[in-house]
Amino acid sequence: MNDDRRLEFKEKALPLLDELYGAALRMTRNPSMAEDVVAESFARAWKSIDQFQPGTNLRAWMYRILTNTYITHFRKNKREPEKVSVDAYEKADHFHLYNKLSSRAPSAPDPAKEVMGRFTNEDFRKALDLLPEEYRTAVVLFDLEGLSYQEVASALDVPIGTVRSRLARGRALLQTTLHQHAVELGLVPA
């Protein structure tokens, strides 16, 4: 590896460390495992920096390595990410939380904001943790990490249509979980 490549890696990849750790933490739900996945991802990236095409998206490349490392880590531990059938999703009670809330409280100026404002970050984290693996990963990369559809597709090695589908299903399941939590808290009627 030449010195220019090493310098480029240090300047562009190392600033992504905290961002990638956050994504790994949301994927693994375990700080120690997230650290291992990020460390291994950086080691793999450093080792294969010659395969990175200059001028392409280093951030997306790093997320692809992170995602592949995460999947490999599960296989090593004989744990596979949970697979969810489309049939199971289709039978689930999915809806848009905003529409459900606004139909229940038409007199409130913005009932969705009122209810959502009462959730804590921990409430959102727990709801996110309940998502099946493939949906959670797509939601984390797109909605929380801000990757584009193409970057998520590249990171997960799936078509963009699959990313859109996983996002829609993941968001619907997340909304269902948050609605159930709002009912439990007495924020909305059952």
Reported as half-sphere exposure (CB side, CA atoms, 13 A), residue 132 has a value of 17
* Cα torsion through 146, 152, 156, 161, rounded to 10: 140
Annotation: CATH topology of 3-76: Rna Polymerase Sigma Factor; Chain: A (1.10.1740)
The 10 Å Cβ neighbour count of residue 141 is: 28
CB 50 within 8 A of CB 40: no
Which pLDDT does position 72 carry in this prediction? 82
CB 133 within 8 A of CB 139: no
Which pLDDT does position 90 carry in this prediction? 47
pLDDT tens, per residue, the chain with 190 residues? 567 777 878 888 889 999 999 999 888 888 988 999 999 999 999 888 888 877 788 888 899 999 989 888 766 665 545 555 554 444 444 444 444 554 544 454 566 666 667 777 888 888 888 899 889 999 999 998 888 999 899 888 899 999 999 999 999 998 888 888 888 877 777 7
Tell me the DSSP string of 174-188.
Answer: HHHHHHHHHHHTTSS
- C-alpha–C-alpha distance, residues 47 and 43, integer Å: 6
Which pLDDT does position 108 carry in this prediction? 47
Which pLDDT does position 183 carry in this prediction? 83
Start-to-end CA distance of the chain, whole Å, equals 61
Domain boundaries, the chain: 3-76, 86-184
**CATH class (in words) of the domain with range 86-184:** mainly alpha
Same fold yes or no, 3-76 and 86-184 = no
CA distances (Å), origin 81, targets 32, 95, 114: 18, 25, 35
Q: Would the pTM count as exceeding 0.85?
A: no
Exposed, middle or buried: residue 163 (CB in 10 Å: 0-12, 13-18, 19+)? buried
